[in-house]
Chain A
């Protein structure tokens, strides 16, 4: 036990804080007694052992990644194996291909998935659903906001949860992605799952 808690206390998680629901992610880590700092600059990034890319507007974040000179250093850290958890817009940023994105929209190509933005419709179609996650006993209450859809999974990607026929949680090595918002659920289990891989 001592070993586990001291290891956790030593971990510093970064939450990409260019735009979006970063504060909600920080709150979850706080509940887990894990240090979580905002990442807005390359200097912030250097301090972290893991990174969360939150929900928000992926087009906005894409531009701010460039203007804040974060795209290159994050790309490099991802290739070196930095554990990362992308939710909704964060998943879009980590994907291989973005369908219906802006022409100049950047993605890190860190996980072998193709995603379609706003694939379930506009806000009026945003929804909540209980989903079964492979490693969790009880269902997880998932909140989907103008959510993207994973339209294809390439090699090396493990699907971890479905909603209807769609994969909504997936992992490839150091990269975990969800098309929904675990940070809005008052449920720490997915953040714990992420930390296990850190």
Chain B
């Protein structure tokens, strides 16, 4: 039998490939192995291992950093779905550590305290794929040009308030629509305005979509929030504090998974939204001290 011998790992194709596999799913923030198990049991397509959920980071203040490797390994040991973990913006050594731990996806995240105020990580230098947050299309394309395999809206993590994620999704997807209609001369202006590489802008004009999948993160607390993000054009959702800061995490997690799959079916969303107990309390944007979304450049 003919055998193939040339194999390649760590390529953009396999990095974006994993992002493709997460589509239509829910990635849940977890802070320990017990929560990871609950998340997998509820149908999460991946978990994000972090030390404190964003709501607690917001409450406690101080510097938020990469998680304890021991905690990440314990989570890897109990679940069979992909395990993601966060590194601080620009902190390429934290990313190296996460790579050595064999995490499946690295989130260069504004939820942690930035380590570099002008540079993001050179993501091409790593074998695991990276996901990065963005508030607008320019930011998304800059992250893609640095090697991100997946973009998520930043939203405003830890608030339980979907308003910022909606703003970011509308901005990113709205600009993609406009670029699709622009003529070739206008694309130069778009690249300038977005502070993004021209070839990436031209590619969007041609294909009508980002080079990598676009997910929603930041403020999802209910099944309807998840379906809203999906109907706006997100291809999957991250849920952070929304699950484990609610009264009864397990049924809520399950309901958000079902609502993400059946995001256009209001009857199913209504059915799964019944009797979930109280969602996380949440906070209004006027009452927050610091906007995580403003971190990143």
Task: Contact check, B23 vs A122: say whether CB atoms are below 8 A apart.
Answer: no
Contact pattern, B 121-156, Cβ under 8 Å of A = 1, otherwise 0? 000000111000000000000000000000000000
Q: A19-B23, A59-B43, A143-B14 are in contact. Are A132 and B4 (CB under 8 A)?
A: yes
Task: Contact check, B3 vs A64: say whether CB atoms are below 8 A apart.
Answer: no
Residue A152, interface by CB 8 Å: no
Task: Contact check, A130 vs B6: say whether CB atoms are below 8 A apart.
Answer: yes
Contacts of B25 in A (CB 8 A): 19-20, 56-57, 60
Task: Contact check, A20 vs B21: say whether CB atoms are below 8 A apart.
Answer: yes
Contacts of B40 in A (CB 8 A): 59, 102
A125 to B99 CA separation, bound complex (whole angstroms): 12
Task: Contact check, A21 vs B23: say whether CB atoms are below 8 A apart.
Answer: yes
Chain A: minimal CB distance from B162 (Å):
21
Identify which of residues 254-276 in chain B touch chain A, using a CB-to-CB cut-off of 8 Å: 254, 257-258, 261-262, 265
Task: Contact check, A123 vs B104: say whether CB atoms are below 8 A apart.
Answer: yes
Q: Please tell me which one of the listed residues A68, A121, A131, A163 contacts residue B262 in the complex, with CB atoms under 8 A apart.
A: A68
Q: A64-B257, A145-B17 are in contact. Are A124 and B23 (CB under 8 A)?
A: no
Q: Name the CB-closest residue of A to B84.
A: A123
Task: Contact check, A124 vs B3: say whether CB atoms are below 8 A apart.
Answer: no
Q: Please tell me which one of the listed residues B3, B7, B13, B45 contacts residue A184 in the complex, with CB atoms under 8 A apart.
A: B13
Q: Name the CB-closest residue of A to B17.
A: A145
Residue A12, interface by CB 8 Å: no
Residue A17, interface by CB 8 Å: yes
Chain A interface residue bracket vs B: 35 or more
Contact pattern, B 18-43, Cβ under 8 Å of A = 1, otherwise 0? 10111111000000000000001011
Q: A19-B25, A131-B4 are in contact. Are A125 and B81 (CB under 8 A)?
A: no
Chain A: minimal CB distance from B235 (Å):
8
Q: Name the CB-closest residue of B to A142.
A: B4
Task: Contact check, B17 vs A181: say whether CB atoms are below 8 A apart.
Answer: yes
Contacts of B104 in A (CB 8 A): 122-124, 146
Task: Contact check, A128 vs B14: say whether CB atoms are below 8 A apart.
Answer: yes
Task: Contact check, A123 vs B129: say whether CB atoms are below 8 A apart.
Answer: yes
Q: Name the CB-closest residue of A to B127.
A: A124
Contacts of B81 in A (CB 8 A): 57, 59-60
Task: Contact check, B20 vs A21: say whether CB atoms are below 8 A apart.
Answer: yes
Chain B interface residue bracket vs A: 35 or more
Q: Name the CB-closest residue of A to B129.
A: A123
Chain B: minimal CB distance from A102 (Å):
7
Q: Please tell me which one of the listed residues A21, A56, A67, A163 contacts residue B4 in the complex, with CB atoms under 8 A apart.
A: A163
Task: Contact check, B17 vs A102: say whether CB atoms are below 8 A apart.
Answer: no
Residue A95, interface by CB 8 Å: no
Contacts of A118 in B (CB 8 A): 80
Q: Please tell me which one of the listed residues A64, A88, A117 contacts residue B258 in the complex, with CB atoms under 8 A apart.
A: A64
Identify which of residues 91-131 in chain A touch chain B, using a CB-to-CB cut-off of 8 Å: 100-102, 117-118, 121-131
Contacts of B257 in A (CB 8 A): 60, 63-64
Task: Contact check, B80 vs A102: say whether CB atoms are below 8 A apart.
Answer: yes
Residue A29, interface by CB 8 Å: no
Contacts of B261 in A (CB 8 A): 17-19, 40, 64, 68
A126 to B18 CA separation, bound complex (whole angstroms): 9
Contact pattern, B 74-87, Cβ under 8 Å of A = 1, otherwise 0? 00000011100000
Task: Contact check, B21 vs A21: say whether CB atoms are below 8 A apart.
Answer: yes
Contacts of B2 in A (CB 8 A): 131-132, 162
A143 to B13 CA separation, bound complex (whole angstroms): 8
Contacts of B13 in A (CB 8 A): 128, 143, 184
Q: B residues bordering A, Cβ < 8 Å?
A: 1-4, 6-11, 13-14, 17-18, 20-25, 40, 42-46, 80-82, 99, 102-105, 127-129, 235, 254, 257-258, 261-262, 265
Q: A residues bordering B, Cβ < 8 Å?
A: 17-24, 40-41, 55-57, 59-60, 63-64, 67-68, 88-89, 100-102, 117-118, 121-132, 139, 142-146, 162-165, 181, 184
Which 7 pairs between the two chains have the least Cβ-Cβ distance?
A: A132-B2, A123-B104, A126-B14, A57-B45, A19-B24, A63-B43, A129-B7
A126-B17, A132-B4, A181-B20 given; 4 more Cβ-contact pairs under 8 Å: A20-B25, A23-B23, A63-B42, A162-B2
